[in-house]
């Protein structure tokens, strides 16, 4: 029966994405992180305290997310089975970001097609952590592709992995880890101490999913008749060319599949951060590669779902 619930959650994400007006657990988690983080900063300012505060922030946020999710499912099961099913499916659906990610990428692509670089810079700034005020057309395209590639792991494959492993409880706990990293896991002066634990734990949580994402993107590359061999080769060869131990796997697979080059030096919070490049492509990156990356996102996600569901059925 759980596979049927997971299938419904996946189909809902495929069809609906994340409507802005709908209530969403991740929004609540984000608001809680902001509130608790502010309170912890008021307690003390020393670097030692901020490291401790970061640990408290992580444990409380992730732990509370798990407990509340478990209680919601428990209480709903006592009230009515249909209510339990609805909540189970909705919570599972809320952890997935496949269609939402694709919609944001297509929005940027359409704006680039209108030659409105100012608007495109603002749009891409909403999905990346780097400074976007001076990005060129190609840099906007690259930033979009890198985000879609990285979030194929963070926003789809990893949540699916944890959903099949431990249901909505584990999947939402993963999303809490990921949300913490996206909010406080920066290496600048403001977040270096308080975000240390969250950043490291996000690396741990994504260790297996990132490598699975590389494999699913390779499979998707072959199915879409892109360069599957290069997706395998670049994903493995350039796996360490990133400050994160995980991000280069999906980015490398996409770079290889599409014969493009990603990565390189970017600005974060006004400071230039030198990064190695990923891939061997020499041609300029264009809007075409954004579409191809979206196709890879959908195909890899569907492949992952089918394989996870098949394994779940065989084992359980």
59-94 burial, b for 16+ CB within 10 Å, e for fewer?
A: eebbeebbebbeebbeebeeeeeeebbebbbbbbbb
Interval 99-153: pLDDT, tens: 999 999 999 999 999 989 999 999 998 888 777 888 899 999 999 999 999 999 9
Instruction: Please say if the pLDDT value at position 269 is more than 60.
Output: no
| Beta bridge partners of residue 267, listed in sequence order | 272
Give CA torsion, residues 98, 104, 105, 111, to 10 deg: 160
Q: How confident is the model at residue 273 (pLDDT cuts 50, 70, 90)?
A: low
Of all residues in the chain, the percent with pLDDT exceeding 70 is 97
Q: How far is CA 14 from CA 10, 20, 112, in A?
A: 6, 16, 25
Beta pairing, strands 262-263 & 266-268 = unpaired
Interval 201-217: pLDDT, tens: 999 999 999 999 999 99
- Per-residue pLDDT, averaged over 56-74, amounts to 98
Interval 211-268: pLDDT, tens: 999 999 999 999 999 999 999 999 999 999 988 899 999 999 999 999 999 987 666 6
Interval 159-180: pLDDT, tens: 999 999 999 999 999 999 999 9
């Amino acid at each position: 029966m759980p596979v049927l619930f997971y299938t419904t959650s996946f189909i809902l994400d495929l069809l609906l994405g994340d409507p802005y007006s709908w209530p969403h657990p991740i929004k609540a988690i984000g608001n809680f992180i902001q509130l608790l983080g502010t309170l912890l900063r008021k307690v003390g300012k020393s670097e030692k305290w901020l490291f401790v505060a970061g640990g408290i922030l992580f444990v409380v946020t992730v732990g509370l997310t798990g407990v509340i999710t478990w209680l919601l499912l428990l209480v709903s099961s006592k009230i009515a089975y249909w209510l339990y099913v609805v909540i189970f499916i909705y919570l599972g659906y809320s952890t997935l970001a496949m269609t939402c990610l694709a919609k944001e990428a297509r929005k940027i692509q359409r704006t680039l097609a209108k030659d409105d670089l100012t608007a495109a810079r603002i749009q891409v700034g909403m999905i990346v952590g780097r400074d976007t005020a001076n990005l060129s057309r190609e840099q906007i395209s690259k930033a979009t592709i890198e985000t879609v590639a990285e979030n194929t792991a963070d926003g789809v494959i990893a949540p699916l992995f944890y959903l099949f492993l431990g249901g909505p409880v584990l999947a939402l706990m993963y999303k809490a880890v990921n949300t913490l990293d996206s909010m406080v896991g920066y290496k600048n002066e403001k977040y270096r101490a308080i975000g240390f634990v969250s950043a490291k734990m996000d690396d741990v949580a994504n260790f297996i999913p990132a490598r699975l994402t590389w494999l699913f993107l390779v499979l998707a590359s072959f199915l879409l008749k892109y360069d599957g061999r290069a997706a395998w080769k670049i994903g493995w060869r350039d796996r360490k060319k990133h400050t994160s131990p995980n991000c280069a796997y999906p980015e490398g697979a996409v770079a290889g599949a599409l014969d493009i080059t990603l990565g390189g030096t970017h600005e974060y919070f006004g400071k230039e951060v030198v990064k190695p490049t990923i891939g061997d492509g020499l041609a300029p990156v264009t809007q075409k590669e954004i579409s191809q990356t979206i196709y890879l996102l959908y195909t890899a996600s569907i492949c992952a779902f089918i394989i996870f569901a098949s394994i779940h059925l065989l084992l359980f």
